[in-house]
Amino acid sequence: MTRTTTRARATKRGIGASLLTAAAIFALSGCTLITTLSGPGTSGGGGPQEDAQLVPSGLEPSIQAYYEQDLDWGDCGNGRECATAEAPMNWGDGASEKIELAMVKVPAASGNPLGTIFTNPGGPGASGISFVRDSAEYVFTPELMDDFDIVGWDPRGVGESSAVDCRDDAGMDEWFYGVDEELDAETATDQQIIDAVTANSKEFADDCLENTGALLEFVDTKSTVKDLDMMRALVGDPKVNYFGFSYGTDIGAQYIDMFPETVGRVVLDGATDPTLSTFEVVLAQQGAFGEATRTYLEDCLTTTSCPFTGSVDDAIAKINALMAEADDTLPNNADGRKLTSSVIDTAISSALYNDQSWPYLSEAFAAYEATGDPAGFFALSDSYYGREPDGTYADNMFEAFTAINCLDYPVETDPAKIADFNRQIAESTPIGIPGPEALGDTTCQQWAFPSTNELAPVTGAGADPVLVIGTTGDPATPYAWAEAVTEQLESATLVTFEGEGHLAYTQGDSCVTGAVDAYFIDGTVPAEGLVC
């Protein structure tokens, strides 16, 4: 899940987020597994089940037709096959406009797959097409790729599927990096800041509606879950096998809750808690990123190349002073973009997703202190937003991110609650410059289609056993969320990874990958309380 923030500066800014970066480093780590066997073809769901129904009964004919369409898989290079599925824009109206869902498959290396594993890398808004097409061998173990077809897709609103479109590259630069130089950070009143941010958010929301059209109302997660069930049938699997990462776990958890009878083997790595409001998500993430910042600084201060001296608190004070100074002076990057506290904040967030990026953050601070060159901060921030060196954006992730979140999360409008949450958020992290207490989620407040989603626990009553993985030092999806969703799902088992950074399986720890692979391939459910 990408980081969300409601804080504002005197600068114009969008919702902060981070592009999931997957890496597979196959390290050794010891753990113990106690096996509970459930082989392919049995209740574990890994292989074909003779008694399972491919297409749900009782569907309206117009909806059933989508479940019975044929996929035309074609070669798309590097051992991949691609296809396009159609889905109704509105699952509540089979006669609504058709949308397209782009899919990519890496066929099982064995040539005799146990089934399909669908996967989503997170976001919301991250591309499942690029995730599988470009990174499958770096994410999934050879054992898993030998026994299963791996299928990724761009969810509705994302990438190569029927997509949300808000602005061109220059417009996205304005959204992420634009500065309202008429609004002085030192003298502007809270109301002036709120008015400026609200006006900027209204412009962005209006652009999204104008350029996307009716689709903007139907890119919510529950519609994506219905797309997934349709795709399950289209690949010929009576039960769905699914590996969700970060926000992708929300798709998986909602699927378990909505379609428990067709749950096969499902793994949720970096789980989200579906009961939390936007502010509760922000509060938890701010606290987790704050702890991750302290962990980074503790490590940095043990090295000779660290740009900070003294204690962790001294380093935090220095960072906050640099952020305030940036808002006052607005230093220029080589390409003309101006450094603000928002850019520094985003750069820090980007580096905290993976401890292998910590040296880049240290280098950015060191270079800025030595020469005043902010290029290192912009490089990390650009990576966060998917901005290429030539100023283009690799995908529409953050446009989709905003659209999906505004449909999934009811927006808070009570001024007292907004002020209380903002006070809590400001207290939850040592880094940053808090915005006005009365500033709410201005983008979703201005959104054309208010959320009608009800936040509720997922239970998945009757579903086959599923796995939830939580990383103790995960700043983006705090470990408490994995505990919460495990408690909610009736058939879930929690695997704990004691480590830093976002996600567990992608770090290549053999204890984690071994538990996941045994579950997918053999139906082996790890013991309660497994810690890797």
pLDDT digits (tens, 9 = 90+) for 2-47: 655 433 333 332 222 222 222 221 122 233 222 222 333 333 334 4
CA angle 148, 154, 157 (to 5 degrees): 155
What pLDDT shows up at residue 182?
80
The conformation of residue 187, written as its DSSP 8-state character, comes to T
Query: CB count, 10 Å around CB of 153?
Result: 29
CATH of 61-163+219-275+456-522, one of 3.30.70.100, 3.90.1150.10, 4.10.1240.10, 3.40.50.1820: 3.40.50.1820
**Rounded Cα–Cα distance for residues 428 and 416 (Å):** 19
CA 276 vs CA 279, 281, 463: distances in Å: 8, 6, 23
Rg (CA), the chain: 23
Q: Alpha-carbon distance 274 to 268, whole Å?
A: 13
Q: Which residue, among 220, 219, 271, 217, has the nearest Cα to 243 in the 3D structure? A: 271
Q: Which of 387, 386, 367, 383 is nearest to 375 (CA)?
A: 367
Q: How, if at all, do strands 81-88 and 98-106 pair?
A: antiparallel
Terminal-to-terminal C-alpha distance of the chain: 22
As annotated, the residues of the chain forming the CATH 3.40.50.1820 domain(s) are 61-163+219-275+456-522
CA dihedral 360, 362, 367, 370 (to 10 degrees): -170
pLDDT of residue 308: 98
Structure letter (DSSP) for residue 261: G
Residue 367 CA: distances (Å) to CA of 307, 371, 372: 9, 6, 7
d(CA 342, CA 14): 10
**How many whole angstroms separate alpha carbon 337 and alpha carbon 72?**
45
Q: Letter for the amino acid at 131?
A: F
Spacing of C-alpha 192 from chain mean position: 32
**Spatial contact of 235 and 264, defined as CB atoms under 8 Å apart:** no
Q: Is 195 exposed, middle or buried (0-12, 13-18, 19+ CB in 10 A)?
A: middle
Q: What three-state secondary structure class fits 232?
A: helix
CA angle 532, 519, 27 (to 5 degrees): 40
pLDDT digits (tens, 9 = 90+) for 381-413: 999 999 999 999 999 999 999 999 999 999 999
Mutual angle of helices 312-329 and 358-371, in 10-degree steps: 60
Instruction: Name the one residue in this structure whose structure tokens are 């991949």.
Output: 80
Backbone angles phi, psi at 383, to 5 degrees: -60, -40
The tokens 């993430």 sit on which residue?
285
Pairing label, strands 148-153, 98-106: antiparallel
Type of residue found at 421 = F
The rounded distance, in Å, linking the Cα atoms of 45 and 145 is 17
Query: Which residue has 């450094």 as its token pair?
Result: 339
Element (H, E) at 420: helix 415-428
Per-residue pLDDT at 233: 98
Return per-residue pLDDT of the chain as tens, 532 residues: 765 543 333 333 222 222 222 222 112 223 322 222 233 333 333 443 444 689 999 999 999 999 999 999 999 999 999 999 999 999 999 999 999 999 999 999 999 999 999 999 999 999 999 999 999 999 999 999 999 999 999 999 999 999 999 999 999 999 999 998 788 767 889 999 999 999 999 999 999 999 999 999 999 999 999 999 999 999 999 999 999 999 999 999 999 999 999 999 999 999 999 999 999 999 999 999 999 999 999 999 999 999 999 999 999 999 999 999 999 899 999 999 999 999 999 999 999 999 999 999 999 999 999 999 999 999 999 999 999 999 999 999 999 999 999 999 999 999 999 999 999 988 888 898 888 888 989 999 999 999 999 999 999 999 999 999 999 999 999 999 999 999 999 999 999 999 999 999 999 999 999 999 999 999 999 999 999 9
State the pLDDT at residue 434: 81
Length of the chain in terms of residues written:
532
Q: What is the DSSP string of 310-328?
A: S-HHHHHHHHHHHHHHHHH
Helical H segments across 73-168, by residue range: 128-139, 142-147
Tell me how far CA of residue 30 lies from CA of 471, 497, 518, 519, in angstroms. Answer: 16, 11, 15, 17
pLDDT value of residue 46: 43
C-alpha 131 chain-centroid distance: 12
> Which structure tokens are listed for 482?
């994995």
CA distance 197 to 7: 10
Instruction: Let me know: does 259 contact 319? Beta carbons within 8 Å.
Output: no
Q: What pLDDT score does 187 carry?
A: 84
Q: Which of 499, 214, 465 is nearest to 353 (CA)?
A: 499
d(CA 447, CA 449) in angstroms, rounded, equals 6
φ, ψ (nearest 5 deg) of residue 332: -90, 135
Instruction: Return the closest-CA partner of residue 520 out of 248, 263, 147.
Output: 147
Report yes or no: 466 and 492 within 8 Å, Cβ to Cβ: yes
> What was the pLDDT predicted at 10?
32
The residue type of 229 is D
Return the pLDDT at 8: 37
